[in-house]
Amino acid sequence: MIEVQGLQKFYGNFQALKGLDFTINKGEILGLLGPNGAGKTTTMRILTGFLKPSRGNIKVADLNVIEHSLKIKEMIGYLPEAAPLYGEMLVYDYLAYVAEMRGLRGSDKARRIAEMVVLCGLKEVIYRAVHELSKGYKQRVGLAHAMMGDPEILVLDEPTSGLDPNQIVEIRELIKEIGRKKTVIFSTHILSEAEATCDRVVIINQGTIVADGPTDSLLHEFGAGVVVDIVLQHPDVALVIAKLSIVAGVEKIENTTDTESGLLSGASVQLAVFSSTDEDIRPALYRVIREQGWDLIDFHLRSESLENIFAQLTQEEC
Amino acid sequence: MNGALTIFKKELKGFFFSPIAYIVITTFLLLSGWFFFSTFFLYNQADLRTFFTQLPLIFSFIVPAVTMRLFSEEFNSGSFELLTTLPVSNSGIVVGKFLAALTFIALMLLPTLAYAFSVAMLGDLDLGPVFGGYCGALLLAGAYIGIGLLASSITRNQIIAFIVGMIFCFGLTIFNRMLFFVPEGLLAVFAYMGSTAHFQNIARGIIDTRDLIYFLSLIFLTLYGTSFVLQERK
């Protein structure tokens, strides 16, 4: 659906994008991740035709963004960061304006506006001026703007910024819902969001791609393997470590006891057990603990999150 | 062109949502009314000539005030990003905004028809120059709107857009009176470049293709330039 080929962008002497290559398939939800200034917004702006690439190219459905910009704009719905809408217009007038720009007229226009009002929860603010709205509502009007033309591709630049936690969940559900039929690209710096919503993530740092793949395979590829966190009550840390070390598959055990924490004061021992295999070592660990009769407080598999991978990939050069 | 029409409607409505429209109309009617009636009874002639004579000067201040926000405000608020990512070409955007401003100026001129009516009551008004005067006023407004749009497209600051637009409109207005600086060989070329002489020809009721070509080419060049500037902003 979308092919990004050797994309470069210069702002004067500053090179914001240093040759990006990736493809996005039809019906995929792609998360564009990266720290501030990584080039997420620039990539999206080139895709939507707001900026021209300095070198390289983007093809949408085999059409070049530079030559067929008008045709591609018809296929793309875009929500820029911070949704810069016309403040003096009423929400209804604004939606009507966007609907007309998308070529909707008469009953089609009225029906589509009504659908957007329901979908984005704009009923209470429909006759208010846009500049009076809270940031969350502005963001929702921006979403309605992006989805008005029922586009094939939805490009959302940080769609959940400024929303309250309930709205964030709603928007995520909405993105997933749309993603069943359409192609969605969205940028975020909230990693749990990408983890929860995307089929695939592309991580950009300083204008280059540092990771690209399905969410779970990235976790596998860059993750540190299986880690079990254990908290139990025993006065002798060394003994506990020694006993647990002999369990098959244990690579190393780290003592993570936080002596300053009130919760784990006294005889509590906190350990992180690293496994060298992909197999679950929890049954074997638990057997040892039960044999020794130690009082177990906490015992769980640490899930390797994108957070760790992200930090690992984007902070190396700093 | 669908997009241009939508932008035209949106911008025209936008003029009347902002207080600038009412301030501009009031200023225009005050200035033009005062210039016209302060001398009208002295001349003791039933025509609108003094009204149309002052028009280029008044327009060179009023028109840039109308056009200054059309692009600068979009750049400043960032809404230009939403506008250009909608399916509309740069020329569609420029034409839509141009027609909105031209319609606004036409609406602003509408109350001055009352001058024509009052003059017609007092004496025998020749309708030819009146008709020509209003046609010329629209052509002149079109050319100045083009200049104003071009000025607005180069900056995100409305005040700069206003001043730049005003300097060029005012320059064209007084150009014919500055010709004594020009060497004699180039006089014919330079004489053609001022706007006032062309406007006065049409306002006398003489429609000459040279004057029409002057205004239409000025409109085309400035709008094309604006569209080019938008393209190069990327």
- What single string gives the DSSP state of each residue in B24-90? HHHHHHHHHHHHHHHHHHHHT-SS-HHHHHHHHHHHHHHHHHHHTHHHHHHHHHSHHHHHHTSS--H
User: Measured between beta carbons, which residues in chain B are less than 8 angstroms from residue A100?
Assistant: 2, 6, 9
pLDDT surpassing 60 at residue A202 = yes
A97/B82 touch (CB, cutoff 8 Å), yes or no: no
Query: Which pLDDT band holds residue B153 (cuts at 50, 70, 90)?
Result: very high
Q: Note the CATH number of domain A2-221.
A: 3.40.50.300
Helix (H) or strand (E) holding A77: strand A76-79
Q: From the CB of residue B225, how many other CB atoms can be counted at a distance below 10 Å?
A: 17
Band (pLDDT 50/70/90 cuts) for residue B154 is very high
Q: Report yes or no: A128 and B30 within 8 Å, Cβ to Cβ.
A: no
Residues of A in Cβ contact (< 8 Å) with B81? 45, 50, 80, 84
Task: Work out the minimum CA distance from B129 to partner chain A, whole angstroms.
Answer: 40
Q: Is the pLDDT of residue B55 over 50?
A: yes
End-to-end CA distance of chain A: 35
pLDDT at A278: 67
pTM: 0.84
Q: What angle do CA B165, B171, B177 make, to 5 degrees?
A: 160
Identify the pLDDT of residue A306. Answer: 66
Q: How far A40 CA lies from chain B's nearest CA (Å)?
A: 16
Interface of chain B toward chain A, CB-CB under 8 angstroms: 2-3, 6-7, 9-10, 13-14, 17-18, 77-79, 81-82, 84-89, 234
- pLDDT (tens digit per residue) in B68-105: 999 999 999 999 999 999 999 999 999 999 999 999 99
CA-based nearest residue in chain A for residue B89: A70
Instruction: Report d(CA B106, CA B125) in Å as an integer.
Output: 22
Provide CATH 3.40.50.300 ranges for chain A: 2-221
Which letter, b or e, does each residue of A119-132 get, where b requires 16 or more Cβ atoms within 10 Å of its Cβ?
ebebeebeeebbee
| B178-213 pLDDT tens trace | 877 778 878 878 888 888 889 988 888 888 899 999
Across all residues in chain A, what is the average pLDDT? 83
pLDDT digits (tens, 9 = 90+) for A294-305: 888 888 877 666
What 3-state DSSP class applies to B206? coil
pLDDT at B30: 93
**Subunit contact B87:A52, Cβ cutoff 8 A:** no
Tell me what percent of chain B is helix, strand and coil, each rounded to the nearest 5.
Answer: 85, 0, 15
Q: Is the pLDDT of residue A286 over 80?
A: yes
Between A237 and A141, where is the model more confident? Answer: A141
- Cα distance from A57 to chain B (closest Cα, Å)? 15
Residues facing A296 on adjacent strands: A232
Overall number of domains in chain B: 1
**Over the stretch A117-152, which tens digit does the pLDDT of each residue have?**
998 888 999 999 999 988 888 888 998 999 998 899
Mean pLDDT check: name the lowest of A67-76, A266-275, A308-317, B28-37.
A308-317
Write out pLDDT tens, residues B26-52: 999 999 988 888 887 777 777 888 889
B13, closest residue in chain A (CA to CA): A89
Range A225-309: architecture per CATH: 2-Layer Sandwich (3.30)
Q: Provide, as residue numbers in chain A, all residues whose Cβ is less than 8 Å from the Cβ of B156.
A: none
Inter-helix orientation angle A306-314/A215-222, to 10°: 60
CA distance B233 to chain A (A): 8
Give the three-state DSSP class for B144.
helix
Size of interface A-B (CB pairs under 8 A): 63
ipTM above 0.90, yes or no: no
The confidence score (pLDDT) of residue A318 equals 43
Q: What DSSP character marks residue A190?
A: -
Across the range A189-201, mean pLDDT stands at 80
**Residue A88: which of B6, B18, B81 has the nearest Cβ?**
B18
Q: Mention every residue, 6+ apart, whose C-beta is less than 8 A from residue B159.
A: B68
Instruction: Specify the pLDDT at position B221.
Output: 96
Question: Could you tell me the pLDDT band of residue A316, with boundaries at 50, 70 and 90?
Answer: low
Structural domain boundaries, residue B84? 2-233
For A39-44, what is the mean pLDDT?
90
Interface contact flag, A73 B234, Cβ < 8 Å: no
Q: Is residue A307 scored above 70 in pLDDT?
A: no
Pairwise CA distance, residues B100 & B5, whole Å: 9
CB contact under 8 A, B78 and A80: yes
pLDDT digits (tens, 9 = 90+) for A48-101: 988 888 888 888 888 888 888 888 899 999 999 877 899 889 999 999 999 999
